[in-house]
Chain A
Amino acid sequence: MIRVRKPKALILLMICLFSAVFSLERSFGQQITPEKQEKSLQAESKPEKIIPSPKNIKERTALYVFIGWMWLAIFVLIFILRLKIKEADRLYRLKFFLKNKK
């Protein structure tokens, strides 16, 4: 299990990761041309390429909230799991010592 020896470094890494992700917002934002626009321009023929993306600002916000909440839940779960791992390892070690004493 990788131990976090330098929490500050981890926080810096997280900040870099999230700024990289949010800088993608620009490319993401540019995709908010409604997908059906091409369909209405060419009534009979089908569109050349459909690039899926959220249709409006409400959907886009909902997606950011989804991703933010998902990562929050993941980090909290990892934090709890680390505690559980420490507990499980401690229990295992104790049994090991008990075995030796016997």
Chain B
Amino acid sequence: MKLKHSLFTRRQFLNSLLGGWLAALVATFLYPVVKFIFPPTREPDKVVLPFSGFQDMGPNSVQNFSWGSKPGIIKKDDDGTYQAFVAVCTHLDCNVAYLPDRRKFFCACHEGWYDEDGRNIGGPPPSPLRRLTLVIEGGDLIIKREGVE
């Protein structure tokens, strides 16, 4: 289909070319800037701790550990099994504490409550505490992100 008149003038075409390539060059320079400003998350894939530090834990008790730059919590249940959570409230990132007498996790910032399995049961937290898989191998306690081999 042949058009009688051009859709745009030569000046518009040249200006668009200039603008487009300028945007491409700016994007080229912006890429390292963005990568620099947003560094990758520092969460580890797994953390290995000596089991000896945890085998003497009483039932319904917790112990903290470092999950990268976040606090982690290991809980020993009444039946002797261990659970691991990321001890960060799912509401607005405050650190949570375990109250053994109430058998609940509590976030003091906005009075968020989680049950002993980390499920959100009261207050503003929208989702349960992030669970981590826990394996006891030899003399080590291996805590991994869920889904990591």
Contacts and interface: CB of A to CB of B under 8 A. Distances in A.
The answer on direct contact between A and B (beta carbons under 8 Å) is yes
B30 to A, nearest CB: 12
B28 A80 contact: no
A74 B17 contact: no
B18 A73 contact: no
Interface of B: 11, 14, 17-18, 21-22, 24-25, 28-29, 31-32
A80 B18 contact: yes
Nearest to B25: A73
B11 A73 contact: no
Interface in A44-96: 66, 69-70, 73-74, 76-77, 80-81, 83-84, 87
Nearest to B26: A73
Q: Is the interface of B mostly helix, strand, loop or mixed?
A: helix
Contacts of B28: 66, 69-70, 73
24 contacts: A66-B28, A66-B31, A66-B32, A69-B28, A70-B25, A70-B28, A70-B29, A73-B21, A73-B24, A73-B25, A73-B28, A74-B25, A76-B21, A77-B18, A77-B21, A77-B25, A80-B14, A80-B17, A80-B18, A81-B18, A83-B14, A84-B14, A84-B18, A87-B14
A77 B19 CA distance: 9
A76 B24 CA distance: 11
Contacts of B31: 66
